[in-house]
Structure 1
Amino acid sequence: MSQLDVLVVGDLNPDIVLTGLESPAPRLGTEQFFGAMERTLGGSGALTAVTLARLGVRTALVARVGDDEPAAFCRGILEREGVTPHLLVNPALATGVTIALAYPADRMLLTSPGAIGDLAADDVGDALLAQARHVHVSSYFMQARLRPGLAGLLKRARGLGLTTSIDTGWDPAERWLDDDLRAALAVTDFVLPNASELTHLGGEAALLQLGPGAVVLKDGARGARYVAVAEQHSAPGFPVRAVDTTGAGDAFDAGFICATLEQRSISDRLRFANACGAVVVQVHGGAGGQLTRKDFDDMYGPDRD
């Protein structure tokens, strides 16, 4: 029996979240008010890992950090949340940090990557992979050293019997489909973009031609869609009042992976993933306060198939 359910390979950093912003968007040369500031756990990989742990999934996170207080802050939260941290320290680099401007409709992220981009595929050995059932890769475009070896890492995972998934995140350079990503998608079971990312990646049909098992679109209040070569499924979103969309996509990823490991139907996976995202947007901070499995199950409701 495996010691882990999911190994997340990705980014970890503190988020500085500004809430209660009164202007619809930042404008140069102006001053505007915000309501509050909070430091929380950040990074797509870390937030996915925490939500997985809250869902009862045995989860570990591999990430690069500096030898500093922000790394200790993040490690402490992971340990309290039940995530096993495999944090690789580079004392020459600072731990990354993100400033999140949380508007009611969406969020803007300003990130200093620091050690995030120092993670390499060779940092994830076969002995660690062999402990898990699934490997999830987050924030592909932020991880410069990981990209060239990612296809090889995913091939090793598949050879050990693991399923795989990638959430690319936004490409700050807006180059999108490079050769390394094409190679990685060819050995990926699920790619999980949001609507804007999917458009920049060329759409579902173009992505499927590269070889992933399925494209799983997360589209906020509009719901989600699963597209594979021979089948399609969709599920509507949940009508909730969003106060902070930070981490919603990561919670969706966690819900989809959890439901996949529980061998639910595709439609049920989408509905549960939507429920996880809907719960998280109702609280401030990407880690979602003190949420539990019951909170996600209650949002999901009794209609489980």
Structure 2
Amino acid sequence: MSGFDVLALGELNPDLILTGLSADGPVIGTEQIFQRERLVLGSSTAISCVLMQRLGLRTALASAVGDDRYGRFCRDALLREGVDTARVRVEPGQETGVTLSVVYPGDRLLLTRLGIMAFLDGSIAPGAEFDAFRHVHCGSLFLLDRLRGDLPEVLRRARADGCTVSVDPGWDPSGRWDPAALAEILPLTDVFLPNRAEARAMTGTDGDEEALDELRALGARRVAMKAGAEGGLCQSPAGLIRQEGFPAEVVDTTGAGDAFNAGFVRGMLAGWAEGDCLRLAVACGSMAVTAEGGTGGLASLGQARDRVAAAGEMLPDI
């Protein structure tokens, strides 16, 4: 048996969440009042890693932080969750990045200072240790320019050692969507995990099925797409599957996509059918929005099972 189930490869930073703003949204040139601020673990890759751990997988994170209070905060948060941090480098002289998450009713605005994230590259990946893992997950593909360039070679090594692969692209702030990188990376993934806006933007399409078909044509074995309150879709050689969303009272949408990632990977590593993987993914995403921060709403696999059962649906045993 391998030492770990999942190696998460990518960024590590906190989120500073501001809540209690009006529904009007940001208005340049004005002052607005918020009710509360809270520092929590952020970053798509790290949040997915923590939630996979809570769902019963043994996880490790490979990343880098600065030797500063934000870096210490993040490493301590991971350790409290049981995530292995032996592959999180501490770089003196560098600053840990931070995301300001401004939460409005039903949505949020994210402002990110990259810090050391701008310098993350393939050197954070294990040299010859991939055989200690069953699966490799990479998040924020389009935020980490240097790592994106090195990722094809990293994933080839991981696959050669028997790992399956998942990739969450995240949003591309540049708007370029790096078609050359996608063409290299997608054939190396077992599941590609965009949300609806990302999938349509990177393919230049206006519909869900068209975007999924295009991503599959570019080489992704399966694409599991997040569709917000509507649930999710999965396109694979077996065809198209849809899963309706589960009812949820939205407090903060931060981390909903990362929870979806964790649920799908948990099901996949259990050998579940794609429909069951998607059902768990959507359930996890629906739980994530019920609390502040990316890790506040989803506590365990049992909690996700209860959400599914309450809707009259079922999940397989693990």
Match in the other structure for 1:141: 142
Match in the other structure for 2:29: 29
User: Deviation at 1:230?
Assistant: 4.3
Question: In the comparison of the two structures, how many residue pairs are matched?
Answer: 305
Pairing 1:73–2:73 present:
yes
8 A contact 2:65–2:88 mirrored in 1: yes
User: Deviation at 1:37?
Assistant: 0.6
2:307 to 284, 291, 299: 299
CA distance 1:289–1:77, change in 2 (3 Å): farther
8 A contact 1:105–1:242 mirrored in 2: yes
Match in the other structure for 2:206: none
1:215 to 220, 223, 240: 223
Q: Hey, which bits of structure 1, 4+ residues long, moved more than 6 A?
A: none
User: Deviation at 1:188?
Assistant: 1.1
Match in the other structure for 2:13: 13
- The amino acid that maps onto 1:146 is L
State the distance in 2 between where 1:179 and 1:195 align.
21
Give a deviation string over 1:173-227, Cα, whole Å, max 9, x none.
1111331232111211111000100111111122112111011101111011111
8 A contact 2:66–2:95 mirrored in 1: yes
- The amino acid that maps onto 1:28 is I
- The amino acid that maps onto 1:91 is P
Match in the other structure for 2:278: 270
SS at structure 2 position matched to 1:186: helix
State the distance in 2 between where 1:304 and 1:294 align.
11
Q: Which moved more, 1:70-79 or 1:229-238?
A: 229-238
TM-score (normalised: structure 2): 0.92
User: Deviation at 1:118?
Assistant: 1.8
Pairing 1:239–2:250 present:
no
State the distance in 2 between where 1:287 and 1:88 align.
23
Pairing 1:127–2:135 present:
no
Match in the other structure for 1:89: 90
Q: Flag structure 1 segments of 5+ consecutive residues without an equivalent.
A: none
State the distance in 2 between where 1:50 and 1:262 align.
18
Pairing 1:113–2:114 present:
yes
- The amino acid that maps onto 2:179 is D
State the distance in 2 between where 1:88 and 1:289 align.
28
State the distance in 1 between where 2:149 and 2:128 align.
21
User: Deviation at 1:297?
Assistant: 2.2
TM-score (normalised: structure 1): 0.96
8 A contact 1:104–1:245 mirrored in 2: no
SS at structure 2 position matched to 1:155: helix
- The amino acid that maps onto 1:137 is C
8 A contact 1:223–1:274 mirrored in 2: yes
User: Deviation at 1:259?
Assistant: 0.7
Q: Flag structure 2 segments of 5+ consecutive residues without an equivalent.
A: 204-210
Pairing 1:51–2:51 present:
yes
Superposition RMSD in Å: 1.4
Q: Which moved more, 1:217-226 or 1:286-295?
A: 286-295
Pairing 1:184–2:185 present:
yes
State the distance in 2 between where 1:171 and 1:81 align.
29
